[in-house]
Amino acid sequence: MHEDVMTTRTMPLYGLQIFAVAARHLSFTLAARELCLTQGAVSKQIAQLEAQLGYPLFRREVRKLSLSAQGEALLPYVGRALGTLEKGLAAAREARNRLRLKAPSCASRWLLRQLQAFSQVHPDIEVELTSLHDHGIDFGKEPFDLAITYGAHIPPGGRLLFEEQLTPVCSPALLRRSGKPLACPADLAGFTLLHPTRDRQDWQQWLHAANADMVNPAAGQLFDTLDQAMNAALHGFGVSLGDVTLLEEELAEGALLAPMGPVLATGKCYAVVVPGEGKLMEAAGVFGQWLAGAAG
């Protein structure tokens, strides 16, 4: 009994796989072709498996191979076991660390670029992004594993990503089409201001900081989100205020221009928040730490 138990525990999976293929073909040569092995390697593996089991699996006849009685009895069990193992491997492949991330829509453009870079470094962690107008997070009521927040304070468990810094931005096409200068705050009076919120607070703050009382902050086009205003600016509809971090790539590539200062620190910031518990807390911590490094 002790020997049988030890034999079962040390059963070579590789040999059983080769046995199943050889039994299906009833040919070591055809099995070797399918497995990309030599005929001799298949024959050797079968011989080693038979020696360990203590009985033959095949009857070797002239130009003919057939299953022994033991081989016929064993084959269906091996087939079922290998099929179960393949299902387990498939389940393991699907059981990835899938994080549900909540983020404000205004950060989605920047965040998508970070997600693409993160997936190359951590392919085992999948991040599912949900962009919403809401800028906070309540893990007790919302179905998310981590969140990006925006506001004047960093929530408990949060980590600073970057502080908001706004400056006027526009597309090169807008300047070419208008033929007007845009080099100082006073020049903004000749352009359409793009507002990301209905209260127009961002432009009011920036114009006040720039001492640009000659520009009417109530004029211009209203949008629901900063991301919408950014898209309008990219298409040459007017001049928007943009965060220099969120638009770092567009500014570096020249898709958008920042023709003048100052850069206004609004006192608000973006932070990544990871809850203190949950089955995906470790993966969420990995992503949060990576994102903070990428932003910093």
Structure tokens of 126? 């999948």
**What is the DSSP pairing of strand 264-273 with strand 158-169?**
antiparallel
Q: Could you tell me the pTM of the whole model?
A: 0.65
**What is the DSSP pairing of strand 125-132 with strand 158-169?**
unpaired
Per-residue pLDDT of the chain (296 residues; tens, 9 = 90+): 444 433 445 668 889 999 999 999 999 999 999 998 899 999 999 999 999 999 999 999 888 899 999 999 999 999 999 999 888 877 666 556 788 899 988 888 889 889 999 988 888 888 888 888 878 888 888 889 889 999 999 988 888 999 999 999 999 999 999 889 999 999 999 999 999 888 888 899 999 999 988 999 888 899 887 788 888 999 999 999 999 999 999 999 999 999 998 899 999 999 999 887 666 778 888 888 888 888 76
Q: Rounded to the nearest 10 degrees, how much is the dihedral formed by the CA atoms of 168, 172, 178, 180?
A: 60
pLDDT digits (tens, 9 = 90+) for 178-220: 889 999 999 999 999 999 888 888 899 999 999 988 999 888 8
Q: Provide the terminal-to-terminal Cα distance of the chain, rounded to the nearest Å.
A: 63
